[in-house]
Structure 1
Amino acid sequence: MPSILHIAFVDQWNAAREAGAYRVSTRGKTLDDGATFIHASRPEQVSLVANFVYADVTEPLCLLVIDVERLVSAVCDEDLDGIGMSFPHIYGPLNLDAVVDVRPYERGADGRWPDISVQALS
């Protein structure tokens, strides 16, 4: 099962479960606000994104583990910022049955968001 991850606020994930689909692109942006895709990461990219986008966040975060084979919306690997690293982007709502696990994501003892290993997802 190929998996990608999405960093989510716990309350937004809970709201999505009630609504029937997840529509948050990234912090402060949704598909309903005009965002064209949902940002996702491979395990080795999660801490990079978290420490850049969520550095000042104090509320609980979670990682949505997404089985790309279950996605209804298209997923594309893209380097839209020209940084030499591509990220998976989900072009449309995230169907809930593609989320095969939800894991708490907590800061490490050093105050930074920790690295995620592929083995940790197994």
Structure 2
Amino acid sequence: MLLHIAPAAEWSAPDPEVPYRPASLATEGFVHCSPDEDTALAIADAHYRSVPGPLLLLMFDEALLTAEVRWEGSGDRLFPHVYGPVDRAAVVGVREIRRDAAGRVTGLAPWV
């Protein structure tokens, strides 16, 4: 399971058949992912505090992705990067990242 943080407005699409293409795909050539929930929440807490609106934690089934996944180093850790758009059929779960008024992560909740 690969985990990806996305603003809810970025995840929403008018057509569910349209692959997900976050901004990083155009600017960096890949979709940033995390290997586990704790890492994803730490990244959300460190880098997404000022992002307005709901934040989502998308769960990708790596076996259902048609784009290449590479595990690449950042510091002393490896992170999964998806080198292409994400097939929406590969998204097997979505949860909301709960934050307090200052934008600090407080936990996860079901996304409705």
TM-score, length basis structure 2 = 0.81
Cα pair distance change 1:92/1:22, threshold 3 Å: same
Deviates more, 1:11-20 or 1:95-104: 11-20
Structure 2 residue aligned with 1:41: 34
* One-letter identity of the residue aligned with 1:55: R
Pairing 1:55–2:49 present: yes
Deviations 1:3-43 (A, max 9, x none): 1111011111112755611111xxxx3423x3210000122
- In 2, Cα distance between equivalents of 1:115 and 1:86: 24
Tell me if structure 1 keeps the 8 A contact 2:45–2:103.
no
* One-letter identity of the residue aligned with 1:39: H
Structure 1 residue aligned with 2:70: 76
Gaps of 5+ in 1: 117-122
- In 2, Cα distance between equivalents of 1:105 and 1:7: 9
- In 1, Cα distance between equivalents of 2:71 and 2:90: 17
- In 2, Cα distance between equivalents of 1:50 and 1:16: 26
Instruction: State how many pairs are aligned.
Output: 107
Cα pair distance change 1:100/1:30, threshold 3 Å: same
Deviations 1:39-81 (A, max 9, x none): 00122211221122202223101111110110100111111x4
Gaps of 5+ in 2: none
* One-letter identity of the residue aligned with 1:86: L
Structure 2 residue aligned with 1:97: 89
Paired-residue identity, %: 36
Shift of 1:108: 5.4
- In 1, Cα distance between equivalents of 2:7 and 2:80: 19
- In 1, Cα distance between equivalents of 2:25 and 2:13: 15
Tell me if structure 1 keeps the 8 A contact 2:7–2:51.
no
Structure 2 residue aligned with 1:14: 12
Shift of 1:102: 1.1
